[in-house]
Amino acid sequence: MKKRTYILIIILIFLGLAIGTVFSFIYLEFGKPPAVRTHSYLEINLSGGVQEKIPSNLLMEMLGAKPELSMYDLWMNIRKAKADRRIQTLVLRLGYLQCDWAKVNEIREMIAGFRKSGKKTYAYIEDAIEFDKEYYLATACDEIIMHPLGSLVINGIGGYVPFVKKGLDKLGIKAEIEHIEEYKTAYNMFTEDRFTPAHKEMLESIYGDIFSHYIRTIANAKGISEEEIRNLLDHGFFNSEQAQKTGLVDKLLFEDEFIQLIKGERTKIHKITHEQYLKIKPSSLGLNKGKKIALIYGTGAIHSGEGFYKTMGSSTIARWIRKAYKDKSIAAIVFRVDSPGGSAVASDIIYRESSLAKKEKPFVVSMSDMAGSGGYWVSMAAHKIIAQPQTLTGSIGVISGKFNMSKLYEKMGITAEKITFGKRADLFSTFRSFKPDEKSLLKNQLLWIYDKFLTGVSEGRNMSKEEVNKIARGRVWTGSQAKELGLVDELGGLREAITAAKELAGIPASEEVRLIVLPKKVTLFDVISGKKRIQTDINIDAKWEKMIHVFKILERENTLALMPFWISPQ
């Protein structure tokens, strides 16, 4: 009897927990938005990973895990705060950001747009080690505040690019890679032990352009010469008092003093967090309504089939684009691309659907941190391409090959016997090297695909193939360089892309539009009904995440349109 009672109690406890969880999710999904009181300030913690669009993750929400920042959410929240009379101030608490310069620049532009409303903006920094991107962002604010015991390290940009060829040689592994052309350096870390002239030229050009933009922007923001900024960066290390004395920060305040600064002459001021403010509907502030524009996100490595979080599956993206251009209620399409490339075939599938979409309605591409190689391939059909000055784009070229591990197998005592039906059945086997005629065949295949790539760019950009080839050859360009070369049309972010789409669709610039965003938010009922899966993420050290993730996704692909990997300095 007692045993049955215990079992019943356990069942009731689990049932209670299940019901409670369901109701808590229903409240999260459909509960009332938070009350925003007069004289409020919006506080955003800018630190950690920054993705383009974060799908809802109900499991992680249930566990109380903090999601990564989303560019879309930041953009929408800052737009709302600008229009919301109850929000008087924007406060940014800055920590180390795990994203590249283009995203940082776009967030900076969001802040500059907010300031046009006449409302105040503050950046608060506690401690800042290797803080160049974050400091660049902070200079968009009215004032930069630092903790009195903090340190500021802004020492320029750059770092080390590793080459592992000698290590592979010791292991008995040889990377046998063919690439078109000399600037296609995605696998140079495996095939070289130092920079090739083309590789070094490209990196110096890219980092030099980004650094020049960094210096120029900070000098303008702080009202001092570019030479003075360069001298400060060469010094590099500043304690809080030195940072204030040099004008790098405006005030040194403890937390309570900072809150008093925000409060000003008011007796009370109310904080609302970024996460809370996300629940305020844009339409309640007169935003995100009117004619429809599809906003489609294509992020991560490009591969065949269905995509998932942080990847661009050709079937998924093509389906979304097709749905948007066949929907008569949608006036235009904005395709937001953040990708280092991937499979050439998968890229071409998306390009084909983009080309069909372009015939039906305005199609605009907005480039984020990266839109190179396959990331440029999927973009080149657009009516307009818009990129940030620091976007890494171009890389028009192709690459393929394999790792010959025969010497490693020999060292390990691993043997194999060949059974093949067909002269080249073992072409991509790791047990042997490419034969000379096989290298020639592979090279010719890559040249054929490269020619298709050049043709697509030529048609999309209204340039001759000869002109395209001069600026292609696998070379990566910054967005500002790409604009000068004709590979992009305008510099800007999502705001400028939507403005361009409205113009092409004949929608007045002053008129609001309703964004139909893909991927859509995952609701509780999607999970319960089995329509969508709950996703979980494993965080990997940011500087290696791109490399590991891209290789894992592209293992089954053959010919790649892939950018080099960019290693953040540490």
- Which residues are annotated as catalytic? 373
| Helices and strands: H and E segment counts in the chain | 22, 23
Buried b or exposed e, range 316-350, using 16+ CB within 10 angstroms: bbbebbeebbeeeebbbbbbbbbbbbbbbbbbbbb
Phi, psi of 456 (to 5 degrees): -60, -45
All residues at 6 or more sequence positions from 10 whose CB lies less than 8 Å from its CB, including other chains: none
Cα gap 235→78, rounded to integer Å: 34
Buried b or exposed e, range 38-63, using 16+ CB within 10 angstroms: eebbbbbebebbbbbbbbbbbeeeee
Tokens 């940082």, residue?
Answer: 104
The one-character DSSP state at 430 is T
Nearest residue to 565 (alpha-carbon basis) of 178, 169, 189, 182: 189
Cβ neighbourhood burial of 217 (10 Å; 0-12, 13-18, 19+): middle
Tokens 């991509």, residue?
Answer: 428
Q: Are 53 and 297 in contact (CB under 8 A)?
A: yes
* The length of the chain, given as a count of residues: 570
Task: Report helix, strand or coil for 98.
Answer: strand
Nearest residue to 52 (alpha-carbon basis) of 269, 295, 282: 295
Cis-peptide into 519, omega within 30 deg: yes
Cα gap 359→346, rounded to integer Å: 21
- For the chain, the C-alpha Rg in angstroms (whole number) is 26
Cα gap 397→475, rounded to integer Å: 8
Nearest residue to 522 (alpha-carbon basis) of 61, 66, 75, 45: 61
Cα gap 82→84, rounded to integer Å: 6
Q: Are 252 and 146 in contact (CB under 8 A)?
A: yes
Q: Please give the structure tokens belonging to residue 314.
A: 């050709």
**Count of other CB atoms within 10 angstroms of residue 507:** 20
